A and B are shown apart, each in its own frame.
Chain A
Amino acid sequence: MDVIQGIQTVVSPKIVSRNFGDTVFKYLSQFFAFLILLLIVLMAYEMYASSSLSIQKFGWSFLTSTEWDPVADQYGALPFIYGTLMSSLIALVIAVPIGVGIAIFLVELAPKWLERPFSFIVELLAGIPSIVYGLWGFFVMVPWIRTTVEPFLSRHLGSFPLFEGAPYGVGMLAAGVILSIMILPIISSISRDVLKAVPVSQKEAALALGSTRWEATRIALSYSRSGIIGATILGLGRALGETMAVTMVIGNRPVIKASLFEPGYTMASVLANEFTEATTEMYISALIEIALVLFVVTLLVNTVARLLVWSFTRNADAGGRL
């Protein structure tokens, strides 16, 4: 590690590494690390260059227009942006409480022997390929939503614009639910790590002051708030980019509707469905611009999330040592 470099600098500060092998090794590994940088830059550049036609023609209105008309070569990405955000939001609303609940269960409640197998099972959920979720979602979950969930919501909450309309089964609600299952592991495992990192002294202090067990847990939660928010945002990042599972259950219709029963369309889905057949230059350019928007959005979201989780674990370490 850096220790060797440190020692070498102290012992022989001006002597160039006598070992040719070392120099080669260092630059070789540095080269490969550099490739990652190159890759990202290349990706961003390729997408930007290929979408220049569309950027020039539509400018910012691309992000605000709802007109997606390949016949007239008019493209606006708002329905897809809305679909992506809405389905991810629904997923978060469902997955965050359950994920944090699982984390609390694992850290505070579960007997020691249960923790590892349970975490293993939750991580298995994370490993299931997206297409398998899509298959299961379309053949099992969607009919259930169509015959049970949506009529139920319609009967009791049908007056809300959120739950209006005929039960298709496929639609925004289905997409949100399948996404929530998919991001559950990431939220719960990071929340669990974050909760574990809360210094024991905090909990002990709370209990010593006479709080109940639940109140102590609440204090632990508020302590790890930024970490949990980080976990949430990481889950969001994953949900934003999900393609196959969503494509199979969202109904593939570029509209913005208030009701969750209505079909929708996400940025990732439109790419999967329409990319191989965009016949005009402008069409392809518009699609690549959507890829670019998706890239930028997930980049921002993941950066914010990493910063939050990273800063939390740093603070927790510092806090623990006090």
Chain B
Amino acid sequence: MKKFLSFLLVSLVMNVALAQLQLNGAGATFPYVIYSKWFDEYQKKTGIQFNYQSIGSGGGIKQVIEGTVDFGATDGPMKDEQLAEAKAKQGTDVLHIPTVMGAVVAMYNVPEIGTDLKLTPDVLAEIFLGKITKWNDAKIAASNTGRTLPDKAIVVVHRSDGSGTTYIFVDYLSKVSDEWKSKVGVGTSVNWPIGLGGKGNEGVAGQVKQIEGSIGYVELAYAVMNNLPYASLKNKAGNFVSPSLESVTAAAMNEAKKMPEDLRVSITDAGGKDSYPISGFTWLLVYKDQKDEVKAKAIVNFLRWAFKEGQAFAPGLYYAPLPKEVITLNEKKIASITYKGKPIK
């Protein structure tokens, strides 16, 4: 017993002595692949630890409102009521800072089909509404002439937790399907008509990987890293576009001209012939008026690094770097972060 206690004491003391600056953040699983890389690189460079837990955008928003984290992350922007609640509870506004862009892809596990299944918006909606239940349905075959589709049941996989990835996905479905809009709607957590629930992008990818015949929606990086094929979608201009850096950037370029001041914008169902229809920004949620000066400086410096050196990591991990116009807007935004009213140097 004594030995155990003294060991505990020593490790406690050791840990206090080694007290590195550590900030806690939580939220979206969508950008987790690149965030974990960023935080790892940044820690190697500066020694400052950003402990990020991918619990889902819903979780990120909630913990930011409750003030249990230093920053949050989400791909589904906070609603006005949520911003108001955060302001009431934390005494400050919450800023949305876009960090990268990604694509939400329809990933499937049907070995007979191979890669590059072509789906139209209404077919995608009907699959997730539970109206199309077999892979060899005529509607799917219509856009995939020349392919043999198997007579297998479609197993839909969606998110069981509150998710910005969900938000981007259902935001798109609501734009292209009136039935989806009225029946299910938009949100980080929705009442899914059908399907299994997986936790996080990781959980959905894990389920699709295990279950043959399944289809789920995940961020592009998750599909590529697991060697699972994903569908090309017909965009607003009528072309079948495969998700990629270029097609996501094309979508952003089209919509970024109309960026609102608070940087909360949806770029789904973008116009333009090369745009991938289910693209989205992902944001870091940062308190405008910070309570801790050291942490405030750390956050601002990290963001500045993310906009420059950080962006270089994006393509290798299948995220699209931010357009220059957005970075400029970001720089202005983080200049407005204050510590007790005074701007951070």
Contacts and interface: CB of A to CB of B under 8 A. Distances in A.
A170 B189 contact: no
Contacts, number: 88
Given A252-B196, A274-B160, A279-B162, 20 more contacts: A69-B191, A70-B162, A70-B187, A71-B184, A146-B211, A169-B211, A251-B197, A252-B197, A253-B160, A253-B195, A276-B26, A277-B59, A277-B60, A277-B62, A277-B161, A277-B162, A277-B188, A278-B162, A279-B58, A279-B82
A252 B207 CA distance: 12
A276 B186 CA distance: 20
A166 interface: yes
7 shortest A-B CB distances, which residue pairs?
A252-B197, A277-B58, A277-B59, A277-B162, A252-B160, A71-B187, A70-B189
A223 interface: no
B189 A71 contact: yes
A168 interface: yes
A68 B191 contact: yes
B186 A71 contact: yes
- The size bracket of the interface on A is 20 to 34
A143 interface: yes
Nearest to A138: B210
Interface in A144-199: 146, 166, 168-170
Interface in B157-172: 160-162
Contacts of B191: 67-72
Interface string B206-243: 01001101000000000000000000000000000000
B62 A278 contact: yes
Interface string A192-227: 000000000000000000000000000000000000
Contacts of B62: 276-279
A155 to B, nearest CB: 16
B270 interface: no
A276 B55 contact: yes
B314 interface: no
Contacts of A143: 210
A263 interface: yes
A267 to B, nearest CB: 14
Contacts of A68: 191
Contact of A263 (B65, B189, B197): B197
A176 B213 CA distance: 24
Contacts of B56: 276-277
Contacts of A247: 199
Interface of B: 26, 55-63, 65, 81-82, 153, 155, 160-162, 184-192, 195-199, 207, 210-211, 213
Contacts of A71: 184-187, 189-191
A67 B59 CA distance: 22
A142 B55 contact: no
20 contacts: A69-B190, A70-B187, A70-B191, A71-B184, A71-B186, A143-B210, A166-B153, A166-B213, A168-B196, A251-B196, A253-B192, A253-B197, A277-B57, A277-B60, A277-B61, A277-B189, A278-B162, A279-B58, A279-B188, A280-B81
Contacts of A273: 160-161, 197, 199
Contacts of A72: 185, 191
B192 A170 contact: no
A170 B82 CA distance: 35
Nearest to B152: A166
Given A276-B62, A279-B65, A166 B187 contact: no
Given A252-B198, A253-B196, A263-B196, A170 B207 contact: yes
Nearest to A255: B194
A273 B59 CA distance: 10
B78 to A, nearest CB: 9
B199 to A, nearest CB: 6
A291 to B, nearest CB: 16
Contacts of A278: 58, 62, 162
B329 to A, nearest CB: 26
Interface string A66-89: 011111100000000000000000
